[in-house]
Structure 1
Amino acid sequence: MKIHNFNAGPSILPKEVVKKSAQSVINFNDTGLSVLEISHRSMDFLEIIEKTTFLIKRMMGLNEDYAVLFLQGGATLQFSMIPYNLMYKKAAYLDTGFWAYNAIKEAKKFGVVKVLFSGKNINYTSIEKDYHIPCNMDYFHCTSNNTIVGTQMKIFPKTSTPIVCDMSSDIFSRKLDFCQFSLIYASAQKNIGSAGMTIVIIKKEILGKNKKNIPSYMDYKIHIQNNSILNTPNVFSIYTSMLTLEWIENQGGLFVLEKKNQHKAKLLYNEIDKNSLFENKIHEENRSNMNVSFFLKNKDLEKEFNKIWKKENIVGLDGHRYLGGYRASIYNALPLESVQFLIEIMKEFERKFS
């Protein structure tokens, strides 16, 4: 039975990754041990973490100026770790969605936060481009893709201020100049691997400037010194991330995946725009290629539409509980076939109820 998985996270993984990781749970690399049983200080695991780090740096074009960490606590913990490590007096933030707003709330506990733009009053339907980053900011924080509402930053500012970016829901989905960022963080359960691990990529020169007495687990420098094994890391999630990165390279890398993701998104947005029963409320220039939100113009039809797509083995299409409507998350591993199938369901629904 074919399942069309549009879950926002934890989300669809490449079939090859699921198969290899399932085999490793029974017998990892012919060791007779499960990957769930190997020591995080064994050579087997050190090889995993070294290869995953290597693949990330190669894919993003980063040199030894950057460190890669594999931490726990989700992107949510980073909302506090970032200001703890980087904020001396004040920082600039963009409020472009629910998670960006939460990051701002946490940062205010550590110092002054200057919000350069907030889309809250317009229900986060667009992202301002004409904002100015004051030169006296310790860093500038943005969220590249807003999972709940379905907006995405297409360009990033040119600034001498260190740029910190939450890429949880669109990392490894497109080609970017990753050297423009001083810190990138992303939770794993979308385009990277299984849930339970967060990748943090740091330009090492930005650390150690605020002279705070930081608790050990919150201190990036200590994690770098300990190669992400200050405590027991999420071995399985790091392993599935390595497999996913290998899959990305086998697909042709970020450039190829970006083209595929753009094509999937364009097909779905075109159907929403021309279908008389549906609408998308996001400004066209800010539409996400990862999370497509849409609504029925007539809410009375929701029960009928829900019945149809669920019967056709589509899962994860419900909108976020704070927003309602529908959300199709079309991450790297979601095949074009699933997008085309959803489009046919929407067309048939229009023929029946328009």
Structure 2
Amino acid sequence: MPSRSDITYFGAGPAALPTDVLQTASQALVDFQGTGLGIAEHSHRSAIATKILEEAKADLASYLDVPEDYEILFMQAGGTGEFSATIYNLVGAWVTRKQQEAEKAGADEAKVQADLQKQVDEQLKLDYVVTGSWSLKAYQEACRLLGPEHVNLVADARTINHGKFGKIPEESTWKLSRNPAMVFFCDNETVDGVEFCKFPEALAPKADGTGPIVVADMSSNILSRRIPIKNYSLIFFGAQKNLGSTGITVVIVKKSLLPPVCPQPSPTLLRKLGLPIGPIVLSYEIIAKNNSLYNTLSIFDVYIAGLVLNKLLASFPDKVDGQEAVANQKAKLIYEALESQPDAYRIVPAPANRSRMNICFRVIKGGDMDAAEKAFLEKSKQQGLEGLKGHRSVGGIRASNYNSVPLEGAEKLAKFISQYAKE
């Protein structure tokens, strides 16, 4: 049987964790800092848990240079839960803004509600840029919760790529709504290997600071490159790719979308307007008010995330910029190995949109692609290269080049790619 040191794991998630992080966490799971109890046994409302939570938030803010006017929330339900949470919370914020505008004009309660109903019916829109499987799921969830009449498909990448994902439509073709409740995009599509190389210019804030409320799913590329956080109103990400283990989701949200500036409308008002009322555990207002501890948060998973952040900060004095350089170097090695053997491999996404985190390709050598890919996977496992099978919905090969994959692991895969093509 292989040892842990023999394996380089390229699985898409849950991803591998640094071995030293796991060793520290395993000891803490049995006895945390001499307390006689494991970290998973300590109350989530204890001083120990609070310290772990606060340190993880502070380290994340330091690593990514999160501005002070943003709140960091630890939640549950994964990225998929955030597809719903963003809708509930940002539609609520939109209603609150419209309500505040009407009340400032001096209208009475009946007039305010009538005006709100008219604006909901005629103006409420959520915009979605669909570039892969996950942004498509987010778009579909919005249609399910609000109805398609309130959801605007800004762009669908399949329309420019023969019905498949793999390209990002030119921004000049995007059809953005006027003053939407939010504009959503997925910064890196894990399944399809597509990544935005930079923040979309079409969504950039204006000189006066105004602009659309931009929401991004960064579940699979967070902590791998610098983010212009000020351009976003909300960023969310599951921990299980680059931050830690499965079980927690992080939200970085502008404080201007939370009380006291923007309290959520009452459930009574939302019911009268025919809008959905979200579960309380998905309420950013409630989670923020309770310091992420409204219900029982998995402090063990927060602890692991904290260990990962400690390791990143210790490894890279220049913080995320240092990790970005390594991530780019690893991706370059793997893509160059694939490009050097065009008779053996076909990279799926277009060059301008290739993900650094999820490198998707097909093995075309020999004519029978299924047989060739099966052989490739078998041979790769013999070399200790695990987790390379593509997502079940698209097939092929996928090398997930997350932060935990060392440079040596990327070099090993690049060497195998070249050798296999020559066999």
Separation (CA, whole Å) in 2 of partners of 1:306 and 1:150: 18
Q: Which residue identity lines up with residue 161 of structure 1 in the other structure?
A: P
Structure 2 partner of 1:52? 56
Structure 1 partner of 2:362? 295
State the secondary structure of the residue aligned to 2:80. helix
Structure 1 partner of 2:104? none
Structure 2 partner of 1:273? 339
- 1:135–1:161: 8 Å Cα contact kept in structure 2? no
Structure 2 partner of 1:284? 351
Is 1:336 aligned to 2:407, yes or no? yes
Structure 2 partner of 1:113? 151
Structure 1 partner of 2:392? 321
Separation (CA, whole Å) in 2 of partners of 1:346 and 1:220: 45
- 1:86–1:210: 8 Å Cα contact kept in structure 2? no
Separation (CA, whole Å) in 2 of partners of 1:229 and 1:192: 20
Separation (CA, whole Å) in 2 of partners of 1:44 and 1:180: 34
Higher helix proportion (structure 1 or 2): 2
Partner deviation per Cα, 1:203-233 (whole Å, 9 max, x = no partner): 1212446625244223210111111111100
Structure 1 partner of 2:109? none
Separation (CA, whole Å) in 2 of partners of 1:114 and 1:34: 48
Structure 1 partner of 2:99? none
Partner deviation per Cα, 1:274-302 (whole Å, 9 max, x = no partner): 11211102111111010000101131322
Separation (CA, whole Å) in 2 of partners of 1:318 and 1:77: 26
- 1:75–1:187: 8 Å Cα contact kept in structure 2? yes
Structure 2 partner of 1:91? 126
Q: Which residue identity lines up with residue 178 of structure 2 in the other structure?
A: C
Structure 2 partner of 1:103? 138
Structure 1 partner of 2:117? none
* Number of corresponding residues: 352
Tell me which of 255, 268, 276 is aligned to 1:204.
255
Q: Return closer, same or farther for 1:328/1:212 CA change in 2, 3 Å cut-off.
A: farther
Structure 2 partner of 1:125? 166
Structure 2 partner of 1:164? 215
- 1:93–1:142: 8 Å Cα contact kept in structure 2? yes
Partner deviation per Cα, 1:94-127 (whole Å, 9 max, x = no partner): 1011111110111122251111111134211111
**Unmatched 5+ stretches in structure 2:** 95-123, 206-210, 268-276
What's the TM-score once normalised by structure 2's chain length?
0.80
Separation (CA, whole Å) in 2 of partners of 1:86 and 1:58: 26
- 1:40–1:229: 8 Å Cα contact kept in structure 2? yes
Q: Which residue identity lines up with residue 211 of structure 1 in the other structure?
A: P
Separation (CA, whole Å) in 1 of partners of 2:55 and 2:141: 33
Q: Which residue identity lines up with residue 45 of structure 1 in the other structure?
A: A
Is 1:243 aligned to 2:307, yes or no? yes
State the secondary structure of the residue aligned to 1:83. helix
- CA RMSD of the aligned region, Å? 1.5
State the secondary structure of the residue aligned to 1:141. strand
State the secondary structure of the residue aligned to 1:126. coil
Higher gyration radius (CA): 2
Structure 1 partner of 2:291? 227
Alignment of 1:130-141 (within 5 A): 130=171, 131=174, 133-141=176-184
Larger displacement relative to structure 2 (261-270 or 155-164)? 155-164
**Unmatched 5+ stretches in structure 1:** none
State the secondary structure of the residue aligned to 2:247. coil
Compute the displacement of 1:306 (Å). 2.2
Structure 2 partner of 1:145? 188
Separation (CA, whole Å) in 1 of partners of 2:266 and 2:85: 12
> Structure 1 vs Structure 2: percent identity of aligned residues?
34
What's the TM-score once normalised by structure 1's chain length?
0.96
